[in-house]
Structure 1
């Protein structure tokens, strides 16, 4: 009888230990138990947050939770959302909290990590330093390559489409076109005009890329949240992600890798590449890799630095550039088309440039652009773009980090243990009424007509490009590209809405209009 009694006691002990560890402690004694919770289930089970993500209502749900419960909310047994600056943004993103492996799950290319997926902060910083100079504001605003490629993008690709629409009376679907313009502009700096994309003019190629890129998105829930289950089921023949998604990923990766290979051949074969064709970003990182380790790897008989590392970074950067800038431009055009008087005010400001960006140019063989710094410093243009980035944040979703060892304090709560997933959401930060009065309204004037103290506070909370060491490296290129498109359009045309159905922002880490379209009519001034 002793053995069964011992077994019974052992089983009871194990059950009691299980109940304490996974139910009693997290619900009543853990430091996290003191933090306001989304509901009672999240203390012991992550199913609630999984469900919220699965049905794709995370950002709006988190906003409502913070409005009801304050600056910090527990949304899972080991997961927090923080919506404050001191004890929040400043601590998490300025304090070196390591990245969650969400980034590696979502953004790894060629099975090779890139700058965006690097968890180790020192490694990330080293990779970022390789490219920091070429992405700096001073370099972007003075780059001969960007000067040449901007002329091509505006005067040969973008503006002729709008002029044709005026002459024919046809409307223009600008959402897809904005993706194309953003991609072409970035890749021209990344690889040069001859190797970069031409999605503005090559509509079929644009459709191919956008279909492959966006059609996979509904299936991202599984690898983002349940990678182990997704992988295990696939091994026994149950696919949560259709095979065509893998095929689409492979097609895009192959396309990008081929461009990288062409850039390498160009650099290896040519000594005098014109500014408009020079692959600036690629060449800069390539040189930094070769300088760092002094190694070269053979590819078809030619010297080649780390091929997949370069390609992984390149893919990540151009994918991010086209989506974020493309979505932002779409919402700028939408808001401007609803505000004819603001279009007039902006045009008056744009005509102060020397010379203005007039189309068609007086001398097509000798196009002169205004000084890039002058465009960058236009106050109303800057306010319009800043306000659009605030209310229509292209990356509205969670930016997850992990709390450090041995513990930390957040939003007034102490002893938060290590390895807790913690994150902020730009779409929630940007709707704090104490910082941004009437937060749901698009008001560019808030960036122009406010006290220095209030302006400084808004800038602290403005998070469209992130903050800290992992802040978006391409923000200066993005701002240049977007400002010149807006300036070129509203110098020469006015716009009005034909079809804006579904212009509301979708959900997700990055998110564009739900309807994936915006149709405008262009009118010559």
Structure 2
């Protein structure tokens, strides 16, 4: 019967004028593809928006709207632990699947959302870095080389360099406070975190704090990159026709490379011309223990995993990904403290009491903050819980042969993932999840705390856990208590909601504060 139907269709097409026949074939092809998408084996019975099962355009339009994280929360509350958000995409909400999908023994691999879209181009070659690589060997070997620079021991040894950024931030804010005008504290959090990354990477601030503005327009550039990634990442096959086109320059991502190279050249004191394959002379860079120095030493040892292209790519990744995520957390912290002044007062009292007891240096050390300021640690954790930095699923391919997720068999090659916003807003794990409640991290039972920690997904998990997480914690733990020791802070417009937009990272604007110097 099906063969006869096919013959009938072909005969009908053959009798039509050529343009009409071609148009009919295109329509039949599109309809057939849409139906194939909708009724894919293993996915046809997974609930979700009807349109999402037919075409990836539903997902693209949702991402373009800038609130996909909120969409995912609503969908999981409506449909359960598995939601089909695309013809080949399934969003997962059960935190018990985090270790299964992302754990150290997982066979799930990263998708085209990461590489080549989020990688950089070096001398015509698309070069992955630790975050974007889909090659497990490259990831393993590169991580071995990079881990030391990101270890707590190395970072604490460089704590005085972070203190320089803290002190400069406080100095600048004191000047602004004396003017009596509202301060966009959100922008200053970006300036602070970028200059810290400059110190750690190059022993040199980028100049954000000193100038009080976006240096070389790099913040604006990175925002454009994120917007491109979030949208093109939904249809990654289009990248080769857009910024991935070898006939194009590589677009905004190469501006990040140029920004990193500028810092390298300034540190070396001359034009190294790395773009042309130039070498960094051993005498050009003073050994200060920063990441450039450490990685350059590995480069000079002849490691194939730290060739010049890898050295530059890792430094560019620091600029691109090492600052925004922390500034997002800091904006969340000050916004929610401003919305909950009782929490602000409780934190300030803890800081003042610890200082009065002689438990805090000036500036505060990370060890002191971690030991003597438990409520501060709870505030930081809750700020990241209520507003995670990433707002899309961390995509992974299901291994060949398929696998079982949440009791359902999912075919190999299916893209699955967990959105941290979904696990962080699970009411079965976090009571009253919309509330900013730092006390939940201090007053919960051992079993409740275990479930919350299992669901906390701000830094991803497993071997792909964010390598810069220790930097983020040190930056926040040192700066926040110093700022609140020096200034009284309150939202200028406490009844006004901030604005957020999900462009892979969920960026915020509107954290405007009145700052008054404390006596």
Residue 254 in 1 paired to residue 258 in 2?
yes
Q: In the TM superposition, what is the alpha-carbon distance from 1:491 to its structure 2 partner?
A: 1.6
In structure 2, the partner of 1:139 is 154
Residues 271 and 31 of structure 1: CA distance in aligned 2, closer, same or farther (over 3 Å):
closer
Q: In the TM superposition, what is the alpha-carbon distance from 1:18 to its structure 2 partner?
A: 7.6
Query: Which deviates more from structure 2 when the two are superposed, residues 374-383 or residues 341-350?
Result: 341-350
Residue 437 in 1 paired to residue 439 in 2?
no
Query: Which deviates more from structure 2 when the two are superposed, residues 29-38 or residues 312-321?
Result: 29-38
Deviations 1:443-495 (A, max 9, x none): 00000111011011100000111101111000001110011110111122220
In structure 2, the partner of 1:520 is 514
Residues 207 and 520 of structure 1: CA distance in aligned 2, closer, same or farther (over 3 Å):
farther
Q: How does 1:285-296 map onto structure 2 within 5 Å?
A: 285-291=295-301, 293=303
Cα RMSD, aligned residues only: 3.3
Query: Which deviates more from structure 2 when the two are superposed, residues 323-332 or residues 285-294?
Result: 285-294
In structure 1, the partner of 2:458 is 464
Measured in 1, the distance between the counterparts of 2:358 and 2:331 equals 26
Q: In the TM superposition, what is the alpha-carbon distance from 1:208 to its structure 2 partner?
A: 2.2
Deviations 1:355-399 (A, max 9, x none): 5668xxxxxxxxx64443121232101000000000011112221
Residue 75 in 1 paired to residue 75 in 2?
no
Deviations 1:429-449 (A, max 9, x none): 100001000000000000011
Match of 1:80, SS state, is: strand
Gaps of 5+ in 2: 14-24, 270-279
Q: Are the equivalent residues in 1 in contact too, given 2:201–2:291 (CA < 8 A)? A: yes
In structure 1, the partner of 2:324 is 323
Measured in 2, the distance between the counterparts of 1:70 and 1:294 equals 46
Match of 1:507, SS state, is: strand
In structure 2, the partner of 1:363 is none
Q: In the TM superposition, what is the alpha-carbon distance from 1:321 to its structure 2 partner?
A: 2.1
Match of 2:500, SS state, is: coil
Q: How does 1:277-288 map onto structure 2 within 5 Å?
A: 278=288, 280-288=290-298
In structure 2, the partner of 1:93 is 102
Q: State the aligned residue count.
A: 482
Q: In the TM superposition, what is the alpha-carbon distance from 1:498 to its structure 2 partner?
A: 1.2
Deviations 1:382-426 (A, max 9, x none): 000000000011112221111101110111102x21111111101
Residues 57 and 331 of structure 1: CA distance in aligned 2, closer, same or farther (over 3 Å):
closer
Residues 60 and 164 of structure 1: CA distance in aligned 2, closer, same or farther (over 3 Å):
same
In structure 2, the partner of 1:362 is none
Residue 426 in 1 paired to residue 412 in 2?
no
Residue 404 in 1 paired to residue 416 in 2?
no
Deviations 1:213-253 (A, max 9, x none): 324554445532334446447999xx9xxx9x966544332
Measured in 2, the distance between the counterparts of 1:223 and 1:36 equals 25
Measured in 1, the distance between the counterparts of 2:244 and 2:343 equals 57
TM-score (norm. length: structure 2): 0.83
In structure 2, the partner of 1:206 is 215
Q: How does 1:35-114 map onto structure 2 within 5 Å?
A: 35-39=46-50, 41-86=51-96, 88-94=97-103, 95-110=106-121, 111-114=126-129
Deviations 1:14-53 (A, max 9, x none): 99x98998566654571112322322x4334333222222
Gaps of 5+ in 1: 296-304, 359-367
